[in-house]
Amino acid sequence: MTHEQRMAGSLTEEQIAFYEREGYLVLPHFLTVEDMAPVRAALEEKVSWIADDLYKDGFITDKLEQRPFETRLADLFAGLTDKEFLHYGRGWRDRQPGLFHLISQPKILDAIESLIGSEIFANPVYNVRPKVPHVAAGAVPWHQDKSYWPDANSNPVITAWVALVDATAENGCLHIMPRTHKKQVLSYHAETYSGTGYTELDAEHVSKKKQAISLPLAAGGVILFNDRCIHMSTMNNSHVVRWSVDLRYQPTDQDPMPQHGIGFLARSRQHPEQVTTLDDWLAERPTHHL
Ligand SMILES: O=C(O)CCC(=O)C(=O)O
Listing DSSP states for 129-194 in one string gives EEE-TT-GGGSEEEE-GGGGSTT------EEEEEESS-B-TTTT-EEE-TT-TTS-PPPEEE-SSS
Count of domains observed in the chain: 1
Q: Is residue 63 part of a domain?
A: no
Q: Is residue 176 part of a domain?
A: yes
Q: Which domain holds residue 163?
A: 3-33+91-282
Q: Is residue 203 part of a domain?
A: yes
Q: Is residue 193 part of a domain?
A: yes
| Per-residue pLDDT tens over the stretch 124-174 | 999 999 999 988 888 999 999 999 999 999 999 999 999 999 999 999 999
Cα–ligand 1 centroid distance for 254 (angstroms): 22
Cα–ligand 1 centroid distance for 237 (angstroms): 17
Q: Is residue 75 part of a domain?
A: no
Burial of 41 per CB tally in 10 Å (0-12, 13-18, 19+): middle
Q: Is residue 269 part of a domain?
A: yes
Q: Is residue 48 part of a domain?
A: no
**Ligand 1: residue whose CA is nearest its atom 7:** 232
Of 164, 161, 47, 36, the residue nearest 102 (C-alpha): 36
Ligand 1 interacting residues, C-beta cut-off 6 A: 129, 140, 145, 159, 161, 174, 231, 233, 244, 246
Q: Is residue 68 part of a domain?
A: no
| Per-residue pLDDT tens over the stretch 196-227 | 899 999 998 987 667 899 999 999 999 999 99
24: domain CATH number? Answer: 2.60.120.620
